[in-house]
């Protein structure tokens, strides 16, 4: 394994471990969702980049980089949908949050524009 691939895989593993700690330790669903999507997506990108370097195969590298693009394209959308569903479901914000930027934004519970 090349040193660059080793570093990328180790950094990715550390980021995923950090995301797991965030999911376990953070106080509400919104903060947990943020930790899970941001750090884990970056961790997966590092690990797959290391694997692409390690494999040294053009077809496999292209597939791995397509997986990275797919991860970065879908994880934020999934996090947004989960967060909006939690908010519309009445999940309360952490008591130390100062602002509720969505307060008053939803006029109708089933309004597709505010989803």
CB neighbourhood size of 33 (10 A): 19
Residue 105 pLDDT level (bands cut at 50, 70, 90) = low
DSSP 92: P
Mean pLDDT over 60-77 rounds to 92
Name 17's Cβ contacts closer than 8 Å, sequence gap at least 6.
Answer: none
Alpha carbon distance 35, 16 (integer Å):
10
99 or 15, greater pLDDT: 15
Over pLDDT 90: what percentage of the chain? 44
Its pTM surpasses 0.95: no
Over pLDDT 70: what percentage of the chain? 87
43-76 core/surface letters (b: 16 or more CB in 10 A; e: else): bbbbbbbbbbbbeeeeeebeebeeebeebeeebe
CB 37 within 8 A of CB 57: no
């Amino acid at each position: 394994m090349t040193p660059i691939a080793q570093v990328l895989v180790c950094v990715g593993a550390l980021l995923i471990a950090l995301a797991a700690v965030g999911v376990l330790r953070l106080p509400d669903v919104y903060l947990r969702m943020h930790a899970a999507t941001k750090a884990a997506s970056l961790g997966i990108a590092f690990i797959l980049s290391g694997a692409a370097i390690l494999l040294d195969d053009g077809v496999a590298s292209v597939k791995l980089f397509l997986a990275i693009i797919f991860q970065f394209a879908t994880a934020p959308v999934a996090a947004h949908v989960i967060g909006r569903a939690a908010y519309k479901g009445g999940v309360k914000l952490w008591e130390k949050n100062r602002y509720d930027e969505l307060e008053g934004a939803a006029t109708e519970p089933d309004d597709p524009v505010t989803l």
